[in-house]
């Protein structure tokens, strides 16, 4: 009657536990999905940050590499005593522009008044392309920055470009005075393309903006909305020109939703399976206990058989007077018989797990180490006669057989050796 009461009281327990397991597995699968999504986002963040740093570095390199043009022209001016006619300037500018594909124009402005422009096209006037500031303000800016970068500016011949200016100072006696300005125009589209900001095949969307001297934001390339999203931002200052680069993954920060549905679906299937299995197991405790008892009996029987077999092998090895050992390729003894232990003058337990260097005198250990080394270089069945001096000082004549031991993959595991003491036979021969 009491048993019936317990059955009636706990008859819904398997159902409740199965339902709890079902809910737990569903929640776990969703947590796995969320964790996987976050790992995906972190990995994507690292990749995009690395790509953004590379784009930023290329952008700075492109602008900085064009300084060579201004420095080269400044050196030529100095060599020419700051006197260049139009023909000389055109030849020099032509050669310099061949070295940089992004260059649109080179200009020379003595006293900040544009005098030479290359290339001079018909639709391009000789107007100064420098920012509209007073000369003294420009000189003061040059004194602070050495180079002055503006842009992007609309160009008379079409398109836009960055304008990089360098002041030229002429030595007059012991002093220097302002001579003029070298200005180069760098094509915007070429800069954006070569830096990677216009790579439409990329998995990353980029946007570039700057701020002018009036603190107005100028969007140079890309979508403005990238600066409002959860984009990775990088601030770069090229000389005096501040630039902001935004990078955002084209597919968003997280994986597509269908992958989440797959994970949840797999979770539902797993939950149904696990909860059903749990339900069946809880409804069949007697069967389960029987299986456990049977398994325990089988394990005990197998353990007893293995123990008997091990004892039989050890007894068989210990009853033979031959010296039997097995060591790995590092010279560590894995097993041996009692006769071998008596030969070395140790107990078996003191030998297993040690090397000859730990057990024998230095010279004897070195001798055995050399034998093993030579054998491992050419591991094959070997039968020969050896003369060995024991730790007690006796000289033994051993008829020795050595065999290599390999695993299923033909990897060498160690050396198996059997030695028979033929000292008396050797004395009879003598």
Query: Please, are residues 351 and 359 in contact by the beta-carbon 8 Å criterion?
Result: yes
Encoding tokens for residue 194? 């070569």
**Residue for token pair 């992007």:** 152
What is the third-level CATH fold of 320-429?
A: Beta-Lactamase (3.30.450)
Domain segments of the chain: what residues?
A: 320-429
pLDDT along the chain (430 residues), means of 10: 43 66 73 76 88 91 87 86 86 88 89 84 42 51 70 83 87 82 90 86 87 83 88 88 90 67 70 68 60 83 83 80 90 90 86 89 85 87 77 72 90 90 60
Peptide bond into 61 cis (omega under 30): no
Specify the pTM.
0.52
pLDDT confidence of residue 348: 87
Phi/psi of residue 421, nearest 5 degrees: -75, 110
Would you call 171 exposed, middle or buried from its count of C-beta atoms within 10 A (0-12, 13-18, 19+)?
A: exposed
Peptide bond into 152 cis (omega under 30): yes
């Amino acid at each position: 009657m009491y048993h019936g009461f317990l059955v009636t009281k706990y008859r819904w327990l398997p159902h409740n536990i199965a339902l709890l397991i079902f809910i737990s597995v569903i929640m776990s699968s969703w947590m796995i999905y969320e964790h996987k999504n976050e790992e995906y986002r972190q990995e994507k963040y690292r990749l995009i940050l690395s790509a953004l740093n590379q784009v930023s570095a290329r952008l700075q390199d492109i602008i900085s590499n064009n300084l060579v043009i201004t420095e080269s022209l400044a050196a030529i001016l100095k060599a020419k005593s700051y006197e260049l006619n139009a023909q000389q300037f055109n030849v020099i500018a032509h050669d310099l522009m061949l070295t940089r594909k992004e260059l649109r124009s080179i200009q020379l402005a003595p006293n900040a008044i544009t005098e030479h422009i290359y290339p001079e096209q018909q639709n391009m006037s000789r107007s100064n392309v420098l920012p509209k500031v007073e000369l003294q303000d420009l000189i003061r800016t040059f004194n602070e920055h050495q180079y002055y970068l503006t842009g992007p500016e609309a160009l008379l011949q079409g398109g836009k470009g960055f304008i990089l200016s360098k002041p030229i100072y002429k030595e007059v006696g012991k002093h220097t005075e302002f001579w003029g300005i070298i200005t180069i125009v760098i094509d915007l589209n070429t800069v954006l393309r070569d830096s990677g900001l216009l790579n439409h095949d990329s998995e990353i969307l980029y946007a570039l903006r700057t701020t002018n001297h009036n603190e107005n934001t100028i969007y140079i390339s890309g979508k403005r909305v990238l600066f409002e999203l959860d984009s990775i931002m990088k601030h770069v200052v090229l000389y005096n020109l501040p630039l902001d680069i935004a990078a955002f993954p084209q597919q968003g920060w997280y994986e597509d939703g269908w992958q989440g549905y797959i994970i949840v679906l797999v979770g539902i299937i797993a939950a149904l399976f696990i909860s059903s299995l749990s339900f069946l197991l809880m409804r069949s405790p007697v069967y389960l206990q029987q299986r456990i008892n049977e398994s325990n009996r089988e394990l005990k029987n197998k353990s007893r058989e293995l123990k008997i077999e091990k004892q039989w092998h050890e007894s068989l090895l210990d009853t033979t007077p031959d010296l039997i050992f097995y060591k790995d390729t590092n010279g560590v003894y894995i097993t041996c018989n009692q006769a071998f232990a008596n030969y070395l003058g140790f107990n078996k337990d003191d030998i297993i797990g040690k090397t000859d260097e730990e057990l024998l005198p230095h010279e004897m250990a070195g001798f055995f180490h050399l034998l093993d080394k030579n054998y491992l270089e050419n591991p094959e069945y070997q039968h020969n006669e050896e003369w060995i001096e024991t730790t007690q000082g006796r000289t033994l004549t051993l008829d020795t057989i050595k065999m290599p031991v390999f695993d299923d993959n033909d990897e060498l595991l160690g050396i198996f050796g059997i030695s028979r003491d033929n000292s008396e036979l050797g004395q009879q021969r003598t």
